[in-house]
Amino acid sequence: MSESYFLKTAVHGRHECYSEDRLTQVFVASFNSSPNIRRAVGKLLSIKEANPVKLKADYQVHDGAGRIDVVLYSETKEVRRIENKIDAPLTKSQMRRYSRNGNGKKMRVVAFVKRYPAEAAVLKEFGVFRWSSLDRLLGIEKLDSTNTDGFVSINFHQHLKDLGMAKVDSISLAELRDLAKALHTLRTKPYPYLSLSRTNFFETATNVFSICQDAIEEARKDPELRERIGTAFRFNPEISYVVNEDDGRKKLTAVLLTARIMLKKPVNDIKSIQAGIAIAIGAQELTKFAIGTWFMDPDWHYTTEIFAKEATHQVKRELQADDFVRFCLKRWRKKLLQHK
């Protein structure tokens, strides 16, 4: 595709800068102009019908099912339909409608979303992919920004970043364990040594904070939470601790790496909310850590035990950002919206 095609497609229409229609337009212009983006999409969607580099895309395609955001073609054959979502909900009925063309023939349809939908049936029945997963496959650090492919890919990445969709969507359990071990070692060892060759725990800590920031941003959008606690809170990352007092002596029992929400005034005896990772301190070796969200009362006491089941989110192979965001919002709503 020529540079003139990219510019013509990218600037066509009068869409708002950060709307779904604008993202669809930018995606199609970038896809048709960048082999790197076409390879990334082909890999993400496991497209095997043809060489992904030879695919082309069209947007706002009218069909019997309605208006399809993006349709991918291999020559004249339709390969995939893509529904684009930023903040609007993705429903099973909508996806089923788009999976049939005007003649009733079944078509392959997937969705690109900012976050996975809460409706589990959609995830089970259709391919749903986060834009952030595509962003990670772009490999922009290897590209030359002075040629067309590199210029388009880097600017597409920047557009996703501006939309808040170039963030981490999962953290492996192994990386979380390395982060917990590192914090435990720094606190308990007189001469700590940590190798960063396998896992850089600083990057993992940044990714944990990124997921916590997602939860806070989603809380701002919740109309009931806004009405109850307002929006005068911000993303506030910190390292904190928990101490127990035994026979008049204070003992450090946990170190936390969290984002905190401070409430202007207590709500249901809650003054502060934390979300992040907690590491048990006491033994020379790491015994346990937890991913969760915790509440503090006006006297700065935790309302639940740090490692209690109701306060922590179960992580098996990896921590999924969307699962943790939903866990936090569910806990926050339950605590803050109940009437006493």
- In this structure, the answer to whether residues 191 and 312 fall within a common structural domain is yes
Would you state the pLDDT for residue 322? Answer: 87
Which residue in 62, 48, 50, 55 sits closest to 31, CA to CA? 55
Residues 309 and 210 in one domain: yes
Q: What is the pLDDT of residue 7?
A: 55
Verify that 312 and 187 share a domain, yes or no. yes
Supply the DSSP string of 157-199, one letter for each residue. Answer: HHHHHHTT-SS--EEEHHHHHHHHHHHHHHHH-SS-----SS-
Cβ atoms of residues 284 and 188 within 8 Å: yes
Do 64 and 147 share a domain, yes or no?
A: yes
Domain that holds residue 208: 170-336
Same domain for 324 and 183, yes or no, is: yes
Number of domains in the chain: 2
Q: From CA 301, how far away is CA 289, in angstroms rounded?
A: 20
pLDDT at 179 over 90: yes
Name the token pair of 249: 């002596």
3-state DSSP call for residue 292? Answer: strand
Task: Please give the pLDDT value at position 248.
Answer: 72
Q: Specify whether 157 is located in the same domain as 178.
A: no
Q: What is the mean pLDDT of residues 152-166?
A: 88
pLDDT in tens, 3-43: 555 555 555 555 555 578 889 999 999 999 999 999 999 99
Domain at 154, CATH number: 3.40.1350
Residue 311's Cβ-side half-sphere holds a number of Cα atoms within 13 Å equal to 19
- Per-residue model confidence (pLDDT) at position 62: 81
Question: Looking at the structure, do residues 238 and 115 belong to the same domain, yes or no?
Answer: no
Length of the chain: 340
Find the mean pLDDT for residues 303-312. 93
pLDDT bucket at 308, cuts 50 / 70 / 90: very high
Residue 221: closest CA among 312, 128, 115: 115
SS3 337: coil
pLDDT at residue 296 in the model:
95
Strands 109-113 and 127-130: parallel
CA-based angle 69:74:75, to the nearest 5? 110
> 128 and 176, same structural domain?
no
**Helix or strand holding residue 81 (H, E):** strand 77-84
- Report pLDDT digits (tens) over 109-146: 999 988 877 676 777 788 889 898 899 889 888 888 88
Q: Are residues 111 and 188 in the same domain?
A: no
Pair 285, 314 in one domain: yes
Mark which of 96, 127, 162 sits at the end of a domain.
162
Do 147 and 62 fall into the same domain? yes
In a shared domain, residues 136 and 60: yes
Give φ, ψ of 173 to 5 degrees.
-60, -35
C-alpha distances (whole Å) from 235 to each of 195, 213, 219, 261 are: 30, 6, 11, 7
Q: Which of 113, 144, 162 is the last residue of a domain?
A: 162
- Choose one of 162, 197, 220: the last residue of a domain: 162
Mean pLDDT of the chain: 85
Task: Give the pLDDT band (50/70/90) at residue 311.
Answer: very high
Taking the whole predicted model, whether its pTM rises above 0.85 is answered as: no
What gap in Å lies between CA 11 and CA 151, rounded to an integer?
16
Contacts 24+ apart (CB under 8 A), 162-167: 162/18, 163/18, 163/23, 163/86, 163/114, 163/131, 164/114, 164/217, 165/86, 165/114, 165/130, 165/131, 165/132, 165/135, 166/131, 166/132, 166/135, 167/132, 167/210, 167/211, 167/214, 167/321
